[in-house]
Chain A
Amino acid sequence: MALAIKENNQLYITSFEEFEKNINGEAKNWLKDLRRQALTRFDELGFPTTRHEEWKYTNISPIAKENFIHGTESDAGLVQKDAVKKFDYDGLDAHTLVFVDGHFNADLSLIGDLPEGVKVKSLAEAFQTDTDLLEQHLARYAPFQDDSFTALSTAFMNDGAYIYLPENAVIEKPIHLLFLASDRNEPFITYPRNLIIAGKHSKATIIETYAGTSDNRYFTNCVTEVFCDENAYIEHFKVQEESSNAYHISTTQVNQLANSNFVSNALDFGGLIVRNNPGAILNGEGVESTLNGLYLGTGRQLIDNHTTIDHAKPHCNSHELYKGVLDGSARGVFNGKIFVRLDAQKTDAKQTNQALLLSNTATIDTKPQLEIFADDVKCTHGATIGQLDQDAMFYLQTRGIERDMARDILTYAFASDIIDRITIKELRDYCHHRVLVKLQQDRLEGIDKE
């Protein structure tokens, strides 16, 4: 088997030419060059196979072989208002940007008032208005040289969210970026691309939600880049609720300068094949970085989280807690990379990942990967894989609680470790409910199969 699948490259090249023609004249030279470089790199890389070390447990050949439709126009008619309502977290008061099939939709969005100097808008608009900042930051943090999907994202980047917080800006309400996939007959691909620039001492909470509105097959290939300047504090949530037949591949890459704090919570419920690459570079002293995640896989879902924490400077702390619940024939992958560079003395890095397998056919592949070049550091990692504690099951039952309910209580308790850390009440309630519904749904499906 080859390292790469290239049989579909022509589709992407043709689609790119079409894409470039449509936006011709609009793009500045640097952007045009960047897109072209990325496309060329993709053409060289092709799609990875499981021979590729980074993709050993995740076979994306269904993605590589699918003839995805490119260049879907924004069509709000395809998405009803109630679809937006379904993911508005019980009317959470937020600055909301809605995207349909990767395109910003002003009618469905409600950005509201923002503090002076703060910019929250579509990337498509920012290409017109904020060229200098884009040139300075866009595609600087998520490298595409070794990653086919980031290369594609960079080649096709055109829309998504653009958030700019000037020095000292504090946004009280969360910013919600809702990416909805419409109900189309043919498989299609979208490339949401987000850029968050957080100035010195700025503070914001950002929620990214990716959701399907049907059972369709489509592919969300998204990249979010975050730049945290000194003392910036960004709290980030990513809720993945794609359709049960959708593919979702995401990269979230953060560059943190001194004393900044980035906290991420990734919540994966949907999708058929899901791969997330959250990563942070701790690029100044005194940085705090947290990557937490919860994933619930059922049926034939595959959910892969490849995290990277790169300690580049001394005196930084990183915290990582990933928890997975896998039922049915679902598969999970966790790969946690931690680099501690030569310069990064007094690093304190902690990584924990735990998986709970609820069925005999669910599987998890888990691998911590620590590369430490400094000698005065503290790095801990722990991985546990388990099934429901039978003693606890029995204990609950002897107190009058039925087996199914006992199972839900224990599974929920396992997941609550992450859910309880969600600082936004509405989102926490949503996740709480979502976990229980998903568990019950799965059990009902299990009964049907029997």
Chain B
Amino acid sequence: MLEIKNLHVEVEGTEILKGVNLNIKAGEVHAIMGPNGSGKSTLAQVISGRDVYDVTNGEISYLGKDLLDMEPDERAREGVFMAFQYPVEIPGVTNSYFLKTGLNEIRKHHGLETLDAADFLKFIKEKAKLLDIEPDMLNRSVNEGFSGGEKKRNEILQMAVLEPKLAIMDETDSGLDIDALRIVADGVNRLRNEDRAIIIVTHYQRLLNYIVPDYIHILLNGKIVKSGDKQLAFELEEKGYDQIKADYSSIKTKLEETV
């Protein structure tokens, strides 16, 4: 579904991603872990189409299409979704209008009929209930005055509404208490199926207790240095990023010596 080859990305002249390779198939859940500044959020943002990042080399193919050639809204209509680490507040736009507009744009793109206000309300209320979201939150301005937990749940609600093919959770666990974390994880797990791929970007192993990934990749200094199954998370928990970093640099030195 998603193939990333030798991806190099710069922000204002500083290289953040230095040759990332990643291959994700439908039905898989991948976790990308790494310390602060490793480039994991950059990777999530580049996939979703943020234009402050310059892709200097490499390619991303999504369902056989050149993803980098698509606008963020085209990507969304083709099924790419990112749950934001810092969901944006939009005063004056109600949450339900926002969700309805996005959904209808996507439905139109796929030749489906748009939902009217009444149908949408029914549809959204059911989804909201599953995520323990008060109906009142739908009538408030998007994320305005929402608590950290509400914002994150709202992201999952959007995901549940838009039903993406590829969902990227950018540090969705940050700032959540254990109850909120469980609700969010349940929401994600409910969306797991064989047609959908999920990428979980996280600093900590904690979320992976609730959403068990098929693969884990460790991103260090702009490169994936280690990939493995869920065991890798426990290894990481035990050793910490420093040890992985040290291991990695010694391998790198050895490699350089042999060259």
A interface vs B, CB < 8 Å? 389, 391-392, 394-403, 405-406, 409-410, 412-414, 416-417
Contacts and interface: CB of A to CB of B under 8 A. Distances in A.
B129 interface: no
A398 B76 contact: yes
Contact of A416 (B50, B92, B103): B92
B42 interface: no
B22 interface: no
Interface string B134-149: 0000000100000000
Given A398-B49, A399-B98, A392 B106 contact: no
B92 A417 contact: yes
Contacts of A406: 73
27 contacts: A394-B88, A395-B88, A395-B90, A396-B73, A396-B90, A397-B49, A397-B72, A398-B73, A398-B81, A399-B76, A399-B98, A399-B101, A399-B102, A399-B158, A399-B162, A400-B73, A400-B76, A402-B71, A402-B73, A403-B73, A406-B73, A410-B90, A412-B92, A413-B90, A413-B91, A413-B93, A413-B141
A398 B73 CA distance: 5
Given A396-B73, A400-B73, A401-B73, 17 more contacts: A395-B90, A396-B90, A396-B98, A396-B102, A398-B48, A398-B82, A399-B76, A399-B99, A400-B105, A401-B76, A401-B102, A401-B105, A402-B71, A403-B71, A409-B101, A413-B92, A416-B92
Contacts of A403: 71, 73
Contacts of B162: 399-400
Nearest to B108: A400
Interface string B160-171: 001000000000
Interface in B46-95: 48-51, 71-73, 75-77, 80-82, 84, 87-93
Nearest to A409: B93
A332 B89 CA distance: 27
Nearest to B94: A413
B109 interface: yes
B73 A392 contact: no
Q: Among B51, B72, B98, B141, which residue has the most Cβ atoms of chain A within 10 A? A: B72
Q: Among A398, A405, A406, which residue has the most Cβ atoms of chain B within 10 A? A: A398
Given A394-B50, A395-B90, A409-B101, A400 B71 contact: no
A395 B50 CA distance: 9
Contacts of B75: 398
A403 B75 CA distance: 13
Contacts of B103: 400
A389 B51 CA distance: 14
Nearest to B141: A413
A392 B71 CA distance: 15
Contacts of A410: 90, 93
Nearest to A412: B92
Contact of A414 (B49, B82, B92, B109): B92
A395 B92 contact: no
A208 B134 CA distance: 42
Contacts of A412: 92
Contacts of B81: 398
B90 A394 contact: no
